Amino acid sequence: MIYEGDVMSDLFIIGNGFDIAHGLKTSYYDFHQFLKDNCKNMPYIGAVELVSQDSENKIDGMIVYEPVEYLDFFQIIIDQTDGPDWKNFEEALGRLDFSDILRDFGTSYDTDSIKYLNERSIEPIYQAVLTVKKMFPLWVKSILIDNRIKKKDIIQEMLKKPHYILNFNYTDTLEKIYGEKNVFHIHGNQHSSIIFGHGNYVDEDFDDEDFEIYPRAGSYLNMMKAELKKPVDRIIKRAETQNFLASIKDVMKIYSYGFSYGSVDLPYIVEICRHIDTHKVTWYFNDYSSDIEIQKYQKIVKKCGFEGCFSTFHV
């Protein structure tokens, strides 16, 4: 519950580790399984991978393209994800370089027929991006939260004090299990629109001329880049976010639980530090994290403008 007035309050920053600790299957591997279960009967989306030029797979002198399913796009991201957290997945999403993929799959057969096939191969990649993005909120809404999920007594006790909750999760775990009424889901929740993407804001646009054998490739790559970005600046400027930030000025303790301090979310931490007197605040990390991880988090928070003390708490 959000309290107003002169009472000193706590701020809880909740990440996916909170749901994982409550037994919910909310990892990106679980999302991958959801895609497997729900996309397996979808038709092939077209030609993405090119068969070797030296193969026998040619029709009328042209190379045959192998069809690739929707799942393959997601698998590419998982293969490039280094770590178990959603922040690792988002960072891998931001590092995807479709231009390299296209160049790797290109052929020197610079004919109108090959150009036509190359152009046909780009649209399915874009459709795969849109499909994964469309399936994500469907997966979020499918996550079941019922009375089989047990609340943690320590968390219940901590929530008895005046507090605010900034929730980076999309689930209603706090509302349904702990009875919380005022949880600020900064990226949406199971009953609202969902914001999904990464925070790699490299300001680089592609030109169609950069991909001679792939007509319109630059245009498609720019559209994919835009589709996969999380609009952090716009989220911060929203009235709801500004109202929340204005309300936390009385915070004296900050507890982060299951939050991994990914680069995409650090602008929010900067804003929190701007809206409180950090010299008077203690920032608590869950001791489930290793000492090395906690030290890394401390450095990140300091870079975001925090000048208070650090401690840990146990659940």
Number of H helices, E strands in the chain: 13, 10
Q: What is the DSSP letter of 97?
A: -
Say whether 303 sits in a helix, a strand or coil: helix
Q: pTM score, two decimals?
A: 0.78
Q: Quick one: which H or E segment has residue 312?
A: strand 309-313
Question: Is 206 in contact with 222 (CB distance < 8 Å)?
Answer: yes
Q: What is the DSSP letter of 198?
A: B
The identity of residue 167, as a single letter, is: N
Tokens describing residue 42 = 């979808």
Tokens describing residue 278 = 């950090």
Q: Which of 43, 47, 164, 60 is nearest to 109 (CA)?
A: 60
Tokens describing residue 24 = 């919910």
d(CA 150, CA 136): 26
Residue 76 CB neighbour total at 10 angstroms: 17
pLDDT digits (tens, 9 = 90+) for 243-288: 999 999 999 999 999 998 988 899 999 999 999 999 999 999 999 9
d(CA 166, CA 145): 19
Residue 58 CB neighbour total at 10 angstroms: 11
Question: Is 170 in contact with 194 (CB distance < 8 Å)?
Answer: yes
Question: Is 232 in contact with 174 (CB distance < 8 Å)?
Answer: no
For each of the chain's 315 residues, which pLDDT tens digit applies?
Answer: 444 445 689 999 999 999 999 999 998 788 878 877 876 655 444 433 333 344 444 444 444 444 445 556 666 666 766 666 666 666 666 666 655 555 544 444 455 555 555 555 666 667 777 777 888 899 999 999 988 899 999 999 999 999 999 999 999 999 999 999 989 999 999 989 998 876 554 555 555 455 555 556 667 667 777 777 788 999 999 999 999 999 999 999 999 999 989 888 999 999 999 999 999 999 999 999 899 999 999 999 999 999 999 999 999
Q: Which of 178, 182, 132, 185 is nearest to 159 (CA)?
A: 178
